[in-house]
Chains A and B, each alone.
Chain A
């Protein structure tokens, strides 16, 4: 059995969205079964199936935030404080 990730896209300008996962012995059978498991009620106008084996996965270490780089977390507070100060100086 292979595991496939199912993506569906509604008509129009919607993007493809992850709809779920299914197990099937091969791509042809996966496509056949995906129709029943994920699009029986017209949930999508287009379908992508991706073999889980082909998905590149970033692990936790790869995604961990560097906590020594506060400058990457600009929430705008410094700029806001400076503008506030300037306003007060003008007043």
Chain B
């Protein structure tokens, strides 16, 4: 099936988000706060990478000569459409946990909106992804709910820092209106952003976390920095260099 340019960019934004967040999550392999959480978190990372692969496959369906690994890892930075939250290095567990919660709240809404996509393959993929996403969201929420009562300063700080950056998930690519017109996307980023804000605010209230919602200026700053997802965040080059390490050894290797 041929996808319009706008739809391609729209799907690329989601695929790159999944790829980057999955890659970032995997940095906890062997380092999780305890063994069981290590396994759970890295399993989530694997799921996200799986979603990324499925979306890349959809994008490359009509380009049989393009290698998926090369496409995923060797593009010019300007050709990625990931949001800065997904790209960000979260070296501290509290940052990773908070990002996991904010991202998966959003991801669940994104997949849900794609259940009704005019692209049947995408709709089927959404149904599959949502089964995993239910676990991701529950995992994040359960973990946060247990951490929250003691109001640890690190968690509050992580939320305050990451909330405006997370709003950048809803920074739409230029192609979004076309994806909506094609019926491939069924909800605009602005509409999903409203649902997301409600879900996140409800969580914060449930956990008695007193966090001031970021003002429009700070979210606008993130939108400005991302430039409709065309600009990469600081640190992206190092991340990509890391991702490329193996493929660069021998780009023609078959695994």
Contacts and interface: CB of A to CB of B under 8 A. Distances in A.
Partners in one complex: yes
Interface of A: 1, 22-26, 28-29, 32-33, 35-37, 40
Contact of A35 (B35, B135, B142): B135
A24 B146 contact: no
Contacts of A24: 36
B40 A25 contact: no
Given A29-B146, A32-B138, A32-B139, A23 B34 contact: yes
A40 B11 CA distance: 29
A36 B32 CA distance: 14
Please name the 4 residue pairs, one residue from A and one from B, whose CB atoms are nearest each other, closest first: A36-B40, A33-B36, A36-B43, A22-B36
A28 to B, nearest CB: 7
A35 B139 CA distance: 11
A59 to B, nearest CB: 28
A1 B142 contact: no
Given A1-B34, A26-B146, 9 more contacts: A23-B35, A23-B36, A29-B146, A33-B36, A36-B36, A36-B39, A36-B40, A37-B36, A40-B43
A28 B139 CA distance: 10
A32 B142 contact: yes
A81 to B, nearest CB: 56
Contacts of A35: 135
B90 to A, nearest CB: 20
A71 to B, nearest CB: 48
B203 interface: no
Contacts of A32: 40, 135, 138-139, 142
B146 A33 contact: no
Contacts of B116: none
Interface string B103-143: 00000000000000000000000000000000100110011
